[in-house]
Amino acid sequence: MGNPNKTLDALLVISYQTGDKKALALLFKRWNKKICVQAYRYNNDWESAKDVTQETWRTVITKIHSLRDANRFGSWVMTIASRKALDDIKREKKVFREFNEEYWVDKTIGLNTVDTRDQQIRLALNAITELPVDQRIVLKLFYLEEYSLKEISAITNVSISTVKTRLFRAREKMKLILKK
């Protein structure tokens, strides 16, 4: 049997498509925070993330009736959020940093022990910040978010072979950085 969360989302989508306005409110409750966090990961700014989230919901409301496979709502909405976040970055001409140093410093607080594993974690987290943006995105989506190559391709709007190449290059660059 399928994922119960996916099934619930699909039922809510179908209910909304057939006229039940309350279904959208439930989808909003279930997905709003996830969308906002996804947007934040792209631009590292909560205010921008909130704006992207609002824009994402505008798009969802206008295009949800054209969503043919209600079971794909989750990846569909996250793709919209990711693209809106990237559009926001381009529009604002920001320096795009998927994981800024503050994020990694917060994650490594308390890792000041001599423990080798903790040192390795700290080095790996710092190395990720040195990767180009496109490689950081793919690395994060693949390892942290556990998306498939096909899903990453849809989210980033590049071919699967490009995703594979970026993932390979990110791994290779991480090795070089960590050897230093």
In this predicted model, what pLDDT tens digit does every residue of 6-21 receive, in sequence order?
A: 889 899 999 999 999 9
In sequence order, the 6+-apart residues with CB closer than 8 A to the CB of 37 are: 49
pLDDT at position 113 is 43
**pLDDT tens, position by position, 29-84:** 999 999 999 888 887 788 889 999 999 999 999 999 999 898 899 989 999 998 89
- Structure-token pair, residue 174: 């991480």
Inter-CA distances, 38 with 17, 75, 83, Å = 25, 12, 10
All structural domains of the chain, each given as residue ranges with its CATH number in brackets, are: 4-92 (1.10.1740.10), 101-179 (1.10.10.10)
Identify whether the C-beta of residue 74 lies closer than 8 Å to the C-beta of residue 38: no
pLDDT at position 158 is 86
CA distance 135 to 167: 6
Q: How many other CB atoms are found less than 10 A from the CB of residue 33?
A: 11
List phi, psi (to 5°) of 131.
-75, 150
Element (H, E) at 177: helix 160-179
- Structure-token pair, residue 110: 């308390």
